[in-house]
A and B are shown apart, each in its own frame.
Chain A
Amino acid sequence: MPSDPTLRVKALESLLVEKGLVDRATVDALIDTYEHRVGPRNGARVVARAWADPEYRRRLLADADRAIAELGYGGMQGEHMVVVENTPRVHNLVVCTLCSCYPWPVLGLPPVWYKSAAYRSRAVIDPRGVLREFGVDLPDDVEVRVWDSTAEVRYLVLPERPARTEEWTEQQLAAIVTRDSMVGVARSPAPAGGRSA
Chain B
Amino acid sequence: MFAEPWQAQAFALALTLSHEGHFSWKEWSTALAQEIRRAEARGEPNDGSRYYDRWLATLERLVTEKKLSTRPALRQRKAEWARAYRRTPHGRPVELAAAQPPARAGRAARPGHRPRR
Whether B30 lies near A151 (C-beta < 8 A) is yes
Are A118 and B20 CB-contacts (below 8 A) given A7-B78, A98-B29? no
- Min CB distance A10 to B, Å, is 5
Q: A9-B10, A12-B63, A14-B115 are in contact. Are A3 and B4 (CB under 8 A)?
A: yes
Q: Which residues of B contact A3 (CB under 8 A)?
A: 4, 6
**Docked complex Cα distance between A160 and B43 (Å):** 40
> What is the distance, in angstroms, from B84's C-beta to the closest C-beta of chain A?
9
Pick the contact of A11: B11, B26, B33, B74 (CB < 8 A).
B74
Known contacts A5-B53, A30-B12, A113 near B86 by CB under 8 Å: no
Complex alpha-carbon distance, A118 and B36, angstroms: 13
Given contacts A9-B56, A21-B68, A115-B51, is CB(A14)–CB(B15) below 8 Å?
no
Closest partner residue, chain B, to A10 (CB atom): B81
Flag if A21 contacts B22 (CB, 8 Å).
yes
Given A6-B4, A22-B13, answer yes or no on A15-B29 (Cβ-Cβ < 8 Å): no
User: Is B59 within 8 A of A101, CB to CB?
Assistant: no
Q: In the complex, A100 Cα to B6 Cα: how many Å? A: 19
Given the contacts A12-B59, A35-B2, A27 and B26 also touching, CB distance less than 8 Å: no
**Interfacial chain B residues near A18, Cβ < 8 Å:** 112-113
Central interface residue in B22, B73, B81, by most chain A CB within 10 Å: B81
Rounded to whole Å, the gap between the CB of B92 and the closest CB of chain A is 14
Minimum C-beta distance from B77 to chain A (A): 4
Contacts of A77 in B (CB 8 A): 15, 18-19, 25, 28
- Asked, given contacts A9-B56, A18-B113, A151-B29, whether A118 binds B74 with beta carbons under 8 Å apart, the answer is no
Contact status of A1 and B85, CB under 8 A, knowing A15-B69, A22-B17, A116-B46: yes
Q: Determine whether the beta carbon of B9 is less than 8 Å from that of A99.
A: no
Interface centre among A8, A23, A101 (most CB of B within 10 A): A8
B9: which A residues are within 8 A, CB to CB? 9-10, 13, 27, 31
In contact, A15 and B51 (Cβ under 8 angstroms): no
Contact B20 A22 (CB under 8 A): yes
Closest A residue to B39 using CB positions: A117
| Residue interface mask A20-32, B partner, CB < 8 A = 1 | 0111101110110
Chain B residues within CB distance 8 Å of chain A:
1-2, 4-13, 15-20, 22, 25-26, 28-30, 32-33, 36, 40, 46-49, 51-53, 56, 59-60, 63, 68-69, 73-75, 77-78, 80-82, 85-86, 96, 112-113, 115-116
Give A contacts to B, CB under 8 Å.
1-3, 5-16, 18-19, 21-24, 26-28, 30-31, 34-35, 76-79, 98-101, 108-109, 111-119, 150-152
